Amino acid sequence: MLKRDLNISRWLEAHIDRSASLTTLPKNLVLADVCGDGEYRLVLTDLKLENNEKSRLKVYKGTVLTSDQTLPDIPSSIISFYTSNYDSKIPVIGVACGPDLLIYKNCKPYFKFVVPPLPIEALEHSVWNRLSEDPNIDLKSTLDDLSSIPYNSLSPRSQKLLGLQTPTAIKDFISKYKSSEPKKFAPITCMATLNRSTQDKQSPACPVVATEAGQIFILDPQTFTPMHEAISCATKAIPCVLQAAGMYDVEFRIIIACRSVRRRLNSCLLRRGGAINFKILKRTADFNLSDGEMNSNPIQQTKPLPLPKRSKLFLEQSLRERQNAVDMHQLFQKDLIRLRLTAARATVQMQSNQSSIGNEQELVKLSAQVLGLGPIFTLVLTLKNMNNDKPLCGLSVVFHAAPTFYQLPDYLLEVPLIPPHLTYKIETKVHEKDAVVEDKHDSKRLLRVFVIRKGEAKPIVAAAINMPPTDLSFLL
């Protein structure tokens, strides 16, 4: 196979939805026959990390979203497995949210397994006992005892207590929780499935759950109670990838990949040519860019551009530029100024020419035309309803002009109902009081037109009409 053949796509674009706004991880999606009809559906969790949004469990049948449910916490992993040989061949979905394993069947909540709590520090347990028994206890010394315990070893309740600032909030928090024992749970980090007794595709499988504390639980697929418990390793390492092989009733192995900030960071690369490469991150590695690296040019800019060979025409043009450098520069500056002037005139013309504007949301278009030589002009307004099936009703036209320059017979005109795709014309007289020729761009010569709807303060369409000056030669 030639190298150019690898660029040919072997996939057909069946469906793409750029507005789905999904955020997920590789461990948070699975294909499963959740309805037992032999048609596999995509089950995934949409992660939401903001405080005001909840993560969601979504099920897609083909390209259609068929189920969407809210999750109580940020999910870390998702699995699919069968629970029994005698039950209907419908798998369940297991979603790990914090210390909870949420079981869904037929896209509905079915069961919840909570990992056993971790042991509490003896000093923390003693502090909460003293808080519950003695109402007049010295809070400062008690909180100091609680602060002496490493923060990571405290329960979430004690961590929240130490984060409170005001004495009133501390007393209210203690009175609310002093009657119950503090508990500490390790969140679930990864999961896998382990076949129970056979290797059949639809045979019962045991969920295998790993927590942040290194606990490994193998659960019964029917009662969801722990059948086996182990510790991942003697050191404090957090499981991040879990893989099970074999059968629980015969022989099995569980492979766990852990992570730690106290270990070296390694990278394993498999190259396309078949080579394997291992890299170890230096402990003194600094990922902050230095001033030289920030100011340096990209690699693409350091390579010289392939310049063509010098031709006779190139040499003649170079000689002409050297001999007429001043004239060419002045000509360039003149053309640049002319370009800027043309752009400025076009901008002013575009801003002042508002004789026909529209509103895409309301589907209404307003156009204006000024007739006459003055000092009495005829203003013709045209309103067009661009909606296909909705008429325009309850509209009014408001005129606004400088009273020292112009006078109108009516400044507010009611607009009758305009059917779809029809227009309505309004004619009114505009009398110019002062017929002295002035700057045609004077802001006082602007006549503003507003189309408003009854009961709303914001105009639907607004236009500024630059009124022409009176032709004095006609008056003479």
Q: How many domains does the chain have?
A: 3
In this prediction, residue 433 carries a pLDDT of: 80
Residues 244 and 147 in one domain: no
Residues 30 and 103 in one domain: yes
Residues 236 and 385 in one domain: no
Residues 28 and 85 in one domain: yes
In a domain, 302, yes or no: no
Residues 100 and 153 in one domain: no
Domain boundary among 238, 259, 280: 259
Residues 38 and 83 in one domain: yes
Q: Helices 156-163 & 167-177, crossing angle to 10 degrees?
A: 160
Alpha carbons 187 and 98: distance in angstroms, whole number: 4
Q: Looking up tokens 């013309």, which residue turns up?
A: 349
Helix or strand holding residue 215 (H, E): strand 215-219
Domain boundary among 259, 283, 305: 259
In this prediction, residue 333 carries a pLDDT of: 92
Alpha carbons 105 and 91: distance in angstroms, whole number: 7
- pLDDT tens sequence for the chain (476 residues): 455 555 567 777 777 777 778 888 888 999 998 888 888 999 999 998 887 889 999 999 888 888 999 999 999 999 999 988 776 688 999 999 999 999 999 889 999 999 998 888 888 888 888 888 877 788 888 888 888 888 878 888 888 888 887 888 888 888 888 888 888 888 999 999 999 988 888 889 999 999 988 889 999 998 999 999 888 776 678 888 899 999 999 899 999 888 777 566 778 888 777 788 888 888 777 777 666 655 655 555 566 777 777 888 888 888 888 899 899 999 999 999 999 998 887 777 665 554 556 566 778 888 888 888 878 889 999 998 888 878 888 889 999 988 888 889 999 999 888 888 888 999 999 998 865 445 444 567 788 899 988 888 788 888 888 888 887 665 55
Residues 361 and 456 in one domain: yes
Q: In what order do the strands lie in the sheet with 226-231?
A: 226-231, 215-219, 205-211, 188-195, 238-247, 251-259
In this prediction, residue 183 carries a pLDDT of: 87
Contacts (Cβ under 8 Å, ≥6 apart) of 297: none
Structure token digits, residue 439: 């700057």
In this prediction, residue 360 carries a pLDDT of: 60
Name the nearest CA neighbour of 81 among 26, 28, 34: 34
Residues 36 and 171 in one domain: no
Residues 44 and 108 in one domain: yes
In a domain, 315, yes or no: no
Residues 434 and 461 in one domain: yes
In a domain, 279, yes or no: no
In a domain, 242, yes or no: yes
In this prediction, residue 440 carries a pLDDT of: 47
Name the nearest CA neighbour of 358 among 325, 379, 387: 387
In a domain, 71, yes or no: yes
| Cis upstream peptide for 375 (omega within 30°) | yes
Domain that holds residue 132: 122-177
Residues 229 and 98 in one domain: yes
Coil vs helix vs strand at 111: strand
* 422-442 burial code (b ≥16 CB/10 A, e <16): eebeeebebebeeeeeeeeee
In a domain, 270, yes or no: no
Give the distance, in angstroms, between the CA of residue 26 and the centroid of all CA atoms in the same chain.
Answer: 19
Coil vs helix vs strand at 233: coil
Residues 172 and 207 in one domain: no
Q: What angle do CA 334, 338, 344 make, to 5 degrees?
A: 145
**Domain at 417, CATH number:** 2.60.40.10
In a domain, 403, yes or no: yes
In a domain, 24, yes or no: yes
Domain boundary among 259, 287, 302: 259
**Domain at 205, CATH number:** 2.130.10.10
Coil vs helix vs strand at 173: helix
Q: Looking up tokens 């500056």, which residue turns up?
A: 333
